[in-house]
Amino acid sequence: MFKAACSPATPSASRGAGTVMIGNRSRRCHSAYLGNAEPDLHELLGDEVMRRMMTRDGVEPEMVLALVAHMQEMSA
C-alpha cells in the first residue's frame, strides 16, 4: 500500500475547532458547523469559491433560489 504523501493541516486554535462524533468516529471541525449551525443559502451563494464553481457549471444564483422556492411550494 502507498503511504499518503500529504497530511491534513492542523486547524489553528484561533479558529475554534471542536470535535464531533460521526458514526463511531470523532472528527475535528470548525465550531461554526458544530451541531446544526450551518450557513444559510444566501451565505453559501455569496461565497467566492461557491460562485466560481457555479459559474464553471453554468448555474446562476437565481436558478438555485428558484429551485428552492419551487421545492418549498411542492412540499407545502
Helix boundaries (H) for the chain? 41-45, 48-57, 61-75
Helix, strand or coil, per DSSP, at residue 53: helix
Question: Which range marks the domain in which residue 68 is found?
Answer: 39-76
Q: Is residue 46 assigned to a domain?
A: yes
Q: Is residue 70 assigned to a domain?
A: yes
List beta partners, residue 22.
25
Total number of domains in the chain: 1
Q: Is residue 65 assigned to a domain?
A: yes
Q: Is residue 76 assigned to a domain?
A: yes
For 9-65, the pLDDT digits (tens) are: 555 444 444 554 455 665 555 555 556 678 889 989 999 999 999 999 999 999 999
For 40-49, the pLDDT digits (tens) are: 899 899 999 9
- Terminal CA-CA length for the chain: 52
